[in-house]
Amino acid sequence: MLAVTGARHDNARRGRSALATPIWRILAAAMAVALFALFAGSAHAEDGYDLWLRYRPLPAQQAAAYRSHASQLVFGAASPTQTVTRQELLRGLGGLLGRAPAVSDSVTRDGAILIGTPASSPLIQHLQLDTRSLGKEGYLIRSVVVDGHPATAIVGNSDVGALYGAFRFLRLLQTAQSIEHLDLHDAPRLKLRVLDHWDYLNGQVERGYAGASIWDWWKLPDWRDPRYTDYARANASIGINGTVVNNVNAGAEILTPRYLQKVAALADVFRPYGIRVYISARFSAPMEIGGLKTADPLDPQVRQWWRNKADEIYKLIPDFGGFLVKANSEGQPGPQDYKRTHADGANMLADALAPHGGVVMWRTFVYSPSNEDRAKQAYDEFKPLDGQFRPNVLLQTKNGPIDFQPREPFSPLFGAMPKTPMMMELEITKEYLGFATHLVYLGPLFEEVLRADTMTHGKGSTVAKVIEGSLDGQTLTGMAGVANIGTDRNWCGSIFNQANWYVFGRLAWNPDLSSRAIAEEWVRMTFSNDDAFIHPVVDMMMGSREAAVDYMTPLGLHHQMGPGHHYGPAPWDASEARADWRPVYYNRADRNGIGFDRTRSGSDAVDQYAPPVAAQFNDVKQTPENLLLWFHHVPWDYRMRSGHTLWYELVAHYTQGVEDVKQMRQTWARLDGYIDPQRYQQTAAFLAIQEKEAQWWRDACIAYFQSKSGLPLPAGFAPPQHSLQYYESLKFDNVPGFSAW
Ligand code: GCV
């Protein structure tokens, strides 16, 4: 075992510990200037572009130990995927170990690495390894002996499986693990692991906070930006195997021959990395670009139009993944325009794709202002359709019943449709969690919903089991994440937002992984293997989501953000055209109390859950306090478990959220010198923005709720910095991610 964990190899860190005398200070300052000049002179120095695939040189001793297990690379038969696997290993090992291993046809020395499949490599076949549990995309990594030489075999049943294995092998080195006596095997638990890009063809990104769309539609298909390859590498490294390239608020144009050529060019770049492309399809496309008078899914001409369109697409993109559809939601067209059901609409598209092996991901994100409770509508519309969808349709459901709020209960649709493949949609972009600048690690949010117990088949019927198909015997499974990727050099608008892309991929691969373990993995790969850096940063990440819940929407509050653009707090807002877009609709704060009554005496949303869960949520005393105001309207003087009143707890939570961010800033301040100045300073600046905005959220919300409760602020809590009128008067234009609407 290599003694590498916790090794302090960061030059800047070593310099820091020596700051005892003035002369050292001078030397350290000179070193810092020299380092800065080095970074400034290098075009791509630590600007975050390399993500978690940084491959910077490891400390000498560590590299030497690894080198003896990476002396040669021996590949199976050539293929496009094998080529990119070779490139990645050469790049990764060359960077980490300071010298790339030789590529060879045979094992001629100790420490060779064999990569491939039993079918592509006679050497691997000869090892007679049991690959049955790996499926199509899994891999194994095993220490073996070949021709008398100790070696490492990285084996899949497909070249893509071997590619995933190669990334895992590199990760072992990046995270300072031993590569001796290896016996690892892993396979994805979900079939479709997909990013949804809410990108428009004009380059704007809906709810995007990382610059423009990375797809340069104008220059495609002729110019294939090298960034597309790096995008594919990053995705493959965490097992993502699909990408929906355009927004669910879709135009029909992407289905025209001109754009299909562009999509095909992207598919060509992604194919070697095991990534399929999908398109968000506009339901009314047969009218808009097909010249038909209707888009009725039961109309024979419409059905033929979609069949022809599918044939056309598959001629260009033989491994095309299929369609994602937002129908009859927020103004999008759909089958209900023709008095048909969601099943009629989805099945028409599924029939067109089925001969080619494509799937339909049909979203359940539907709600209308006429419904008494927005949280209920998806279940009301879809549950009766269970069993009516074609086998190649998945229903894509957001984690909670409303819309990606900082905290929601799980959607009652999970577990409620046993005869239908259910995939989950998560939002990686932080539309409701502070945009680009707030440091909010979403791992705990994702983990919370995956581990939630639907109780539909008794205890242990977790959401994870629903979406991985084990609960109801589904084999078509998947998870989608709304991407946070744009043209910013750091891809995601901030370094820490990269962790949210990373954790999504890792959980889509295995929903049972722990978000803490994933955070640590990411910190090691992205920053440093120094324990003194890792522990505080992982703790900070793990607490960051709860901090955001506290300063934005504690105790089950939800949808309290500014109208339309979703920036900042606006609990008073009633300006939106639709009631169910207004924060006041959700908080229902008045002189008597606060919260949305979803119990049996209210909207009865609780009864959409399995009976034991419904009973729990229906009872104010049994409802977890972090969801109290989601399910109950309670008086301001309601006694919480702490013995304090609700009003006290509300103010305390808002205050705690701000305190937590202050703490995060202090933690980060102590870590100056552990990493490069560029990423350090950007994070420090963003944390300062987060503190300012957390304070704004706290103060604006307390000011508003106090105007309703009429109660004095509990003793010991600072009053809001400004009047309620001041907060209400704030207006914002040109908010990122919103101009597209
Ligand atoms: C793509 C929310 C967002 C919209 C988004 C929609 C959806 O309403 O604010 O920007 O539209 O969800 O998921 O379809």
Position 14 pLDDT exceeds 90 = no
Instruction: Give me ligand 1 centre to Cα 407, in Å.
Output: 17
Could you tell me what percent of the chain has a pLDDT over 70? Answer: 94
Instruction: Give me ligand 1 centre to Cα 427, in Å.
Output: 10
Distances (CA, A) of 427 to 174, 399, 406, 504: 28, 9, 11, 9
Q: What value does the mean pLDDT take over residues 188-212?
A: 98
CB-ligand 1 contact for 378 (6 Å cutoff): no
Burial class (CB in 10 A: 0-12, 13-18, 19+), 128: exposed
CB-ligand 1 contact for 738 (6 Å cutoff): no
Instruction: Give me ligand 1 centre to Cα 189, in Å.
Output: 28
**Segment 676-692, tens digit of pLDDT:** 999 999 999 999 999 99
Ligand 1 atom 11, closest CA: 249
**Segment 505-514, tens digit of pLDDT:** 999 999 999 9
Structure confidence at residue 446 as a pLDDT band (50, 70, 90): very high
CB-ligand 1 contact for 198 (6 Å cutoff): yes
**What integer pLDDT is reported at residue 12 of this predicted model?**
37
Closest-lying ligand 1 atom to the alpha carbon of residue 198: 1
**What integer pLDDT is reported at residue 23 of this predicted model?**
44
Position 42 pLDDT exceeds 60 = no
Closest-lying ligand 1 atom to the alpha carbon of residue 737: 10
Structure confidence at residue 577 as a pLDDT band (50, 70, 90): confident
Q: What value does the mean pLDDT take over residues 698-712?
A: 98
**What integer pLDDT is reported at residue 372 of this predicted model?**
87
**What integer pLDDT is reported at residue 369 of this predicted model?**
78
pTM beyond 0.85, yes or no: yes
CB-ligand 1 contact for 50 (6 Å cutoff): no
Could you tell me the two tokens for 600? 């049996």
**What integer pLDDT is reported at residue 11 of this predicted model?**
34
**What integer pLDDT is reported at residue 10 of this predicted model?**
36
- Ligand 1, from 330, 399, 433, 484: best to mutate by most atoms within 8 Å of Cβ? 330
Instruction: Give me ligand 1 centre to Cα 425, in Å.
Output: 12
| Residues labelled as active-site residues | 330, 403, 431
Instruction: Give me ligand 1 centre to Cα 404, in Å.
Output: 9
Instruction: Give me ligand 1 centre to Cα 207, in Å.
Output: 8
**Which is nearest to 367 in space by CA: 545, 550, 578?**
578
Position 13 pLDDT exceeds 70 = no
Closest-lying ligand 1 atom to the alpha carbon of residue 425: 13
Residues ≥6 apart with Cβ < 8 Å to 643 = none
CB-ligand 1 contact for 381 (6 Å cutoff): no
Report which residue type is found at 201: L
**Segment 291-303, tens digit of pLDDT:** 999 999 999 999 9
Q: What value does the mean pLDDT take over residues 401-410?
A: 98
- Ligand 1, from 196, 197, 198: best to mutate by most atoms within 8 Å of Cβ? 198
**What integer pLDDT is reported at residue 16 of this predicted model?**
35
Q: What value does the mean pLDDT take over residues 169-183?
A: 98
Instruction: Give me ligand 1 centre to Cα 548, in Å.
Output: 20
Position 6 pLDDT exceeds 50 = no
DSSP states of 2-37 as a string? ---TT----HHHHHHHTTTSHHHHHHHHHHHHHHHH
> Which of 5-14, 117-126, 525-534, 706-715 bottoms out in mean pLDDT, i.e. has the lowest?
5-14
**Segment 315-339, tens digit of pLDDT:** 999 999 999 999 999 999 999 999 9
Closest-lying ligand 1 atom to the alpha carbon of residue 206: 10
Instruction: Give me ligand 1 centre to Cα 383, in Å.
Output: 22
Position 395 pLDDT exceeds 90 = yes
Instruction: Give me ligand 1 centre to Cα 99, in Å.
Output: 47
Report which residue type is found at 34: A
Contact 346, 389 (CB under 8 A): yes
Ligand 1 atom 2, closest CA: 403
Structure confidence at residue 1 as a pLDDT band (50, 70, 90): very low
Alpha-carbon distance of 145 to 666, in angstroms, equals 51
CB-ligand 1 contact for 374 (6 Å cutoff): no
DSSP 733: -
Q: What value does the mean pLDDT take over residues 475-491?
A: 98
Structure confidence at residue 34 as a pLDDT band (50, 70, 90): very low
Alpha-carbon distance of 220 to 259, in angstroms, equals 9
Could you tell me the two tokens for 518? 């994933």
CB-ligand 1 contact for 196 (6 Å cutoff): no
Position 590 pLDDT exceeds 60 = yes
Distances (CA, A) of 338 to 250, 297, 422, 512: 19, 8, 25, 42
Structure confidence at residue 27 as a pLDDT band (50, 70, 90): very low
Residues ≥6 apart with Cβ < 8 Å to 489 = 44, 47, 48, 49
Distances (CA, A) of 380 to 385, 452, 512, 604: 10, 21, 30, 12
Closest-lying ligand 1 atom to the alpha carbon of residue 741: 10
CB-ligand 1 contact for 581 (6 Å cutoff): no
CB-ligand 1 contact for 576 (6 Å cutoff): no
Residues ≥6 apart with Cβ < 8 Å to 191 = 475, 476, 477, 478
**Segment 68-103, tens digit of pLDDT:** 999 999 999 999 999 999 999 999 999 999 999 999
**What integer pLDDT is reported at residue 739 of this predicted model?**
74
Closest-lying ligand 1 atom to the alpha carbon of residue 247: 1
Instruction: Give me ligand 1 centre to Cα 201, in Å.
Output: 17
CB-ligand 1 contact for 5 (6 Å cutoff): no
**What integer pLDDT is reported at residue 45 of this predicted model?**
76
Q: What value does the mean pLDDT take over residues 664-680?
A: 98
- Ligand 1, from 207, 430, 484: best to mutate by most atoms within 8 Å of Cβ? 207
CB-ligand 1 contact for 199 (6 Å cutoff): no
**Segment 219-231, tens digit of pLDDT:** 999 999 999 999 9
CB-ligand 1 contact for 403 (6 Å cutoff): yes
CB-ligand 1 contact for 365 (6 Å cutoff): yes
CB-ligand 1 contact for 207 (6 Å cutoff): yes
Q: What value does the mean pLDDT take over residues 55-63?
A: 97
Instruction: Give me ligand 1 centre to Cα 592, in Å.
Output: 33
Closest-lying ligand 1 atom to the alpha carbon of residue 207: 10
Distances (CA, A) of 584 to 533, 558, 620, 717: 43, 10, 21, 25
Average pLDDT, the chain: 94
Radius of gyration, alpha carbons of the chain? 27
Position 251 pLDDT exceeds 90 = yes
Q: What value does the mean pLDDT take over residues 441-459?
A: 98
CB-ligand 1 contact for 563 (6 Å cutoff): no
Ligand 1 atom 12, closest CA: 403
Closest-lying ligand 1 atom to the alpha carbon of residue 566: 9
CB-ligand 1 contact for 250 (6 Å cutoff): no
Could you tell me what percent of the chain has a pLDDT over 90? Answer: 92
